[in-house]
Amino acid sequence: MRIGESRDSGFDAPHRPRNDGSVCWPALGSAFRRYQPSLSDEHQMGVETEIKFRMPKRNLGSSYKLTVPGCKIGERSESDLLSTYFDTRKHKLKRRGLLLRVRQTDGKHVQTIKKTSGAQFGRGEWETEIGGRAPDLDQANGTPLQRLASNKLRRKLKPIFETSVHRITLPVRTRRSELELAIDHGKINAAGRTSRIEEVELELKKGPARDLFRVAKALERKLAAELCLRAKADVGYDLVNGKRAQAVFAEPIELKKRMSAIEGFQVIARSALRHFSGNADAVRKLDPEGVHQMRVGLRRLRAAISLFSQALAAAKTEEIKAELRWLTSELAHARELHVFLEEKIGPVAREITPRRGGKAIAKQFADKRAEALERARKAVDSPRCRVLLVDVLEWIEAQPGRTDTANTELGEFAGKLLDRRIRKAQRDAGKLQEMTAPERHKFRIRMKKIRYAVEFFESLFRAKRDRKALARLSKHAKKIQDALGSLNDFIADRKMAAEAALQAPPQNRRARAFVSGIIVGREDEQARPLMKAAARELRALRHLSARG
């Protein structure tokens, strides 16, 4: 398979004046062609199309006994793999979305270069047999590492971590496909820290992707295998940085100008899936930030589905949306309680005298938060969540799109979408004071989607003027979202504060009611300035496009 890099200098389409004197966001269509590789800058490479799973150790040994209707499992082979990963002290290769590994097996040394950015389903991979354990950058020609392979980099490269794995490999054949099932058991060693490797990788060698997912679903169903989009290298770097089982944040999204709308959606959706699924371990550790980041990842994917709704095929989309809403709701209460406890109850409990009521209500909500975090953990560990992860990945990869809009050039699609969404927000901006609480909530969600759209499409906008306009738009949208979000939170906070007072035992009821009253009173004082702040930012939004 061949890949190519676009040589276009960036998004330079001029702003187009409207009849009303304002300026619209540039529709990128004239600057874009349907995405095709440029033969002048291609490189030959292999493409690694695989799905990786983690599973309970007790089930790992049963993987090679897996039976799938219509599949023939061949003879097993075994090997020991010792892999050393190289980078600079400041992890320059990782920051550039590259991986450099030397693997030793059967007396040979194989150098592998991978392109890891973008959460691709099929990742670029370049392998070369070399003469020893140290990387040979002369063999990086024709790979993405070539442009970085200077003498300075050679001097700075050093071993970062290593993996030692015992691998059992089985060929899997169907009538149309050839697959390989690899069962890995071993460990990662990094900076004096270790992490176990208990994984199953299923790689498609030849044939349609639906056969890959058919076997993947059998692994999930029969052996409680959990889809894992984090590579061994991700875990290794986390160990080096001391970040085991910590919250995972969104990664940058890189879009190509000549992609189709549906190809752009797939890049964005993979990134969001990687974001929320990567926080599973942090949720299992009952980490409130892990819960928050998983919710953010879920919201990003749901926002992408909404933004690209005109390009997505209807088949299975509603089912996917329903399951994403289910998981989001399972996490919601833990996040709400954590914010209420840390931002509202905590400050009041530390300030008031006597402290009895503050301590009592703080303990009450700390217990509630613990219960909600446990609910989140159970949701992530459930079979329903395991099925969701595989279904979402399959739905993303098999997304045919609607032919009328799916093949639209991504630049044109993004420009028109931003223009349409901004104009609608501007029309509604003057109605803020008349909006009911539910209407404000819906408006806030629309502003959040605009912010996500800016984040998703940012790499398409290269010109300095466009980037400044996007930055202003994102800033105003965030301030509006934050102000309206706080107003929306006040409603939930009042309910929780009232319940805390009414459900308190007799000996603490008056003290807790006192604390609850202080919380509600402070929020009442904050409501008017928040409305003014939202109105101010909305006025700025209404004039934003007119300034360019």
DSSP letters spanning 34-82: -----GGG-EE-EEEEEEEEE--HHHHTTGGG---TT-EE---EEEEEE
Contact 422, 545 (CB under 8 A): yes
Contact 362, 341 (CB under 8 A): yes
Q: CA quadruple 119, 120, 122, 124: dihedral positive or negative?
A: negative
State the pLDDT at residue 524: 52
CA distance 393 to 399: 10
For the segment 178-206, the average pLDDT, to the nearest whole number, is: 94
Structure tokens given for 270: 């993979």
Q: Can you state the percent helix, strand and coil of the chain, rounding each to 5? A: 55, 20, 25
CA distance 328 to 279: 13
What string of DSSP letters covers 455-523? Answer: HHHGGG--SHHHHHHHHHHHHHHHHHHHHHHHHHHHHHHHHHHHHHHHTS-HHHHHHHHHHHHHHHHHH
Q: CA quadruple 292, 293, 299, 302: dihedral positive or negative?
A: negative
CA distance 298 to 146: 36
Contact 409, 28 (CB under 8 A): yes
Is residue 42 pLDDT above 50, yes or no?
no
Domain ranges of the chain: 43-244, 333-369+414-547
Structure tokens given for 130: 């070399």
For the segment 520-544, the average pLDDT, to the nearest whole number, is: 63
CA distance 322 to 126: 39
Tens digit of pLDDT for each residue in 231-289?
899 999 999 998 877 899 999 899 988 899 999 999 999 999 999 999 999 999 999 99
CA distance 341 to 368: 10
How many Cβ atoms are within 10 Å of 92's Cβ, its own excluded? 14
Q: How confident is the model at residue 540 (pLDDT cuts 50, 70, 90)?
A: confident
3-class SS at 91?
coil
Contact 406, 260 (CB under 8 A): yes
Contact 101, 85 (CB under 8 A): yes
What string of DSSP letters covers 316-340? Answer: THHHHHHHHHHHHHHHHHHHHHHHI
Helix axes 464-502, 317-339, angle to 10 degrees: 60
CATH class given for the domain over 43-244: mainly beta
H-helix or E-strand containing 92?
helix 92-95
Structure tokens given for 69: 């209707």
Q: Facing residues of 186 across strands?
A: 165, 197
CA distance 470 to 384: 39
Tens digit of pLDDT for each residue in 219-231?
999 999 999 998 8
The candidate with the shortest Cα–Cα distance to 306, out of 476, 442, 464, is: 442
Specify the residue for token string 């992490």.
195
Q: Facing residues of 313 across strands?
A: none
Contact 98, 114 (CB under 8 A): yes
CA distance 107 to 100: 19
Cis status of the peptide bond prior to 354, with omega within 30 of 0:
yes
Amino acid at 456: F
For the segment 505-515, the average pLDDT, to the nearest whole number, is: 54
Displacement of CA 545 from its chain's centroid (Å): 30
Tens digit of pLDDT for each residue in 381-396?
999 999 999 999 999 9
Contacts of 122 by beta carbon, 8 Å cutoff, 6+ apart: 1, 47, 48, 49
State the pLDDT at residue 365: 83
Tens digit of pLDDT for each residue in 340-377?
888 877 776 666 555 666 677 788 889 999 999 999 99
The candidate with the shortest Cα–Cα distance to 292, out of 259, 332, 320, is: 332
Structure tokens given for 321: 């949306």
Is residue 23 pLDDT above 90, yes or no?
no
Q: Could you tell me the pTM of the whole model?
A: 0.82
How many Cβ atoms are within 10 Å of 538's Cβ, its own excluded? 23
Angle (CA) 102 105 109, round 5°: 40
More confident residue, 257 or 156: 156
Tens digit of pLDDT for each residue in 435-475?
787 888 888 898 899 999 999 999 998 888 888 888 888 88
Contact 452, 303 (CB under 8 A): yes
Contact 258, 35 (CB under 8 A): yes
Contact 250, 400 (CB under 8 A): no
**Rounded percentage of the chain residues whose pLDDT exceeds 70:** 78
State the pLDDT at residue 491: 61
Contact 213, 394 (CB under 8 A): yes
